[in-house]
A and B are shown apart, each in its own frame.
Chain A
Amino acid sequence: MTANATSVVLEKVVKRYGDVEVIHGIDLNIDPGEFTVFVGPSGCGKSTLLRMVAGLEPITGGDLLIDGQRMNDVPASRRGIAMVFQSYALYPHMNVYQNLAFGLETARMPKAEIAKRVQKAADILKIEPLLKRKPRQLSGGQRQRVAIGRAIVREPRIFLFDEPLSNLDAELRVQMRVEIAKLHNDLGNTMIYVTHDQVEAMTMADKIVVLNAGVVEQVGAPLELYNNPRNRFVAGFLGSPKMNFIESTVSRIEGAHGTVNVGGTAFQLRQQLAGFKEADKIVFGIRPEHMGLTETSGVKLADVRVDLVEQLGDQTMLYASTQGGQALTIALEGQQHMPLGSTVTAYVDPTKYHAFGPDGRAL
């Protein structure tokens, strides 16, 4: 943590546009120096929440505290925040140096100090040779670096990133992802990053905030969310390919535990089934990577028909269906070959599956 590291607290934060409420009373603590990622599907409110922190959207209800100070009515420029936009928002008529210096000139900083800061940011981001170029003369990755540089020169308390890698190609995204993570390690500032890409969220975050329809579904460390999703939404959103969900029926109750019928196979759940009775519905969840086709993979789930095989080189993705027509995705290590239409037995790791009640909450 550096001297710049700053805490951000949201207390019952609400956003309304007229009668329509889009953020429904969010509570959140972001610790100093933490890299927090807001992730969720399109329209879940993640960008709106970020813009409320930035001061670009007024907060309808609740409080935003930065280092314990209420910021709701403080103008964006006085919050100690710098933001990197999805579109980069570089001024096309200014060269890179002028883009970086604009905010500092606005703050009437001495020219020598401006030059020093621009040089420092250019060194960090390796954009020194680009300083005299206009944004149109830069590649997507270079523009992204300049946009980050514009944030760095201001030496803000908090960095905000609004889907900054969305416009880059796959290779560049990975490269920039690493660079941003490295930047966080070097600077140590509090950073809030918005993305709809769960891979970005998993790889970059200290803390992930999963948002859905204006509410926080779960907050936690990436692996905590991956291993122990609080509900079916989080379980389905994090992980690629996504978790298999199989509609199941409770077939027998024995004390606090019970057996469920999963795709025609009786399966004893390790989760407690308190309050459930026979014939109740639950959803059985298992990630593709926690399934296999050999007995060593775990316990038998069902015989399945091979519908499609995708060879990824290091992995083979098997798309199959149970006799009841339930679609399953199974991720196999290495290069596996099997004929389409053949029947194989699917096994699941008995320590890795999940179960969700009818309300979607994890059991």
Chain B
Amino acid sequence: MTARSLADATAAPAGGRAVTPSVWSRIWSANGAGYLFLLPWFIGFFGLTVGPIVTSLYLSFTNFDLLTDPKWIGAANYVRMFTADPKFAQSMRVTFMFVIFSVPLKLAFALAIALLLNRGMRGLPIYRAIFYLPSLLGASVAIAVLWRTLFAGDGVINDFLALFGIQGPSWISNPRYSLWTLILLAVWQFGSPMIIFLAGLRQIPQDMYEAASLEGASKWRVFWKITLPLLTPVVFFNAIIQTIEGFKSFTPAFIISGGTGNPINSTLFYTLYLYQEAFAFFRMGYASALAWVLLIVVALFTGFSFLTSRFWVHYDD
């Protein structure tokens, strides 16, 4: 506020004593325009994020079927989850399996392609776009439908195997293979971590490689002793992001299993089970409790990752 406007604001009214402006009016007159611009974000943040989070926390302690008022039941939803719900354990197991296998495989594949693309080949932007495309399309319903068609008993994959005299199983309706089909779909969406790996590889100073080449290090040794350690901050970032994505994965399992998580609950992802509880059985209170457990699991995993990162993530400074 300028000296002049401050003087105006504190000037005595016509017939009385001086009025000191309130804190709010001072903040408003100093930063009003800024807050006005922030308003849409505030509305979105509080209305669509904070509000639902707080509401779901409350609902997780209630019995709520969308049609009647929520009924407070304390921690009963959580107790049931850990003591009397085999589907909760099954969905947890499926989701952990999915995360444990899909994330490392996806990261390894993304890193391998990034290393290939980092060799300064011609037409790099085109290859980069082609490899990134699955990440844009991968989570869509269309790709999940395509995947189902590819891996069905009479799908393209089995037609291809038949050319070599191999009788392929029904990949998506056989509980032995169904989860692996979804893991393969996730690995195929390697574009996003690949782009980040590529950016990380570009950050490694060329001098390091030149020093190693003068010292006679083979490409294999350079990768394990220089490239990978210097890339660990990027590996860490990608691992966290992809793990969270993995825990949240929903669409592929929903489409491929027709929303059931079958065969024999082998594709019953945690989020799919949560969806079933909320929108098929209208047990909103229980679904909210499931959502909060997922949040805690993801938070614990992320926290554990940060704790261990000091032993394997190498920051330059």
List residues of chain A with CB under 8 Å of any chain B CB: 54-56, 75-78, 81-83, 85-87, 89, 91-93, 102-103, 106-107, 136, 150, 154
Q: For residue A93, which residues in chain B have a CB less than 8 angstroms away from its CB?
A: 229-230, 232, 314
A144 to chain B, nearest CB (A): 14
Q: Is the CB of A102 within 8 A of B214?
A: no
Q: Is the CB of A83 within 8 A of B314?
A: no
Answer yes or no: B8 CB below 8 A from chain A CBs: no
A104 to chain B, nearest CB (A): 8
Please report the C-alpha to C-alpha distance between residue A85 and residue B232 in the assembled complex, in whole angstroms.
Answer: 24
Q: Is the CB of A136 within 8 A of B216?
A: no
Interface string of B186-220 (1 = CB under 8 A from A): 00000000000000000001011011111111100
Q: Is the CB of A136 within 8 A of B210?
A: no
Please report the C-alpha to C-alpha distance between residue A107 and residue B217 in the assembled complex, in whole angstroms.
Answer: 8
Please report the C-alpha to C-alpha distance between residue A137 and residue B28 in the assembled complex, in whole angstroms.
Answer: 47
State how many residues of chain B have any CB contact under 8 Å with chain A: 21
B120 to chain A, nearest CB (A): 14
List residues of chain B with CB under 8 Å of any chain A CB: 205, 207-208, 210-218, 221, 225-226, 229-230, 232, 314, 316-317
Which one, A75, A87, A106, A154, contacts B207 given CB within 8 A?
Answer: A87
Residue of A nearest to B216 (CB): A77
B29 to chain A, nearest CB (A): 47
Q: Is the CB of A92 within 8 A of B215?
A: no
Residue of A nearest to B232 (CB): A93
Q: Is the CB of B211 within 8 A of A83?
A: yes
Given that A87-B207, A89-B205, A92-B316 are contacting pairs, would A81 and B214 also be in contact in the complex, using a CB cutoff of 8 Å? Answer: yes
Q: Is the CB of B214 within 8 A of A77?
A: yes
Q: Which 5 A-B pairs have the closest CB atoms?
A: A103-B215, A77-B216, A93-B314, A89-B207, A89-B211
A80 to chain B, nearest CB (A): 10
Given that A92-B314, A93-B314, A136-B317 are contacting pairs, would A106 and B221 also be in contact in the complex, using a CB cutoff of 8 Å? Answer: yes
Please report the C-alpha to C-alpha distance between residue A54 and residue B214 in the assembled complex, in whole angstroms.
Answer: 8
Interchain Cβ contacts under 8 Å between A and B, 5 examples: A82-B214, A85-B207, A92-B316, A107-B215, A150-B211
Extra A-B contacts (20), CB below 8 Å, given A89-B210, A103-B216: A75-B213, A76-B213, A77-B217, A83-B210, A83-B211, A83-B214, A86-B207, A87-B205, A91-B225, A92-B314, A92-B316, A93-B230, A93-B232, A102-B212, A102-B215, A103-B215, A103-B217, A106-B215, A106-B217, A106-B221
Residue of B nearest to A82 (CB): B214
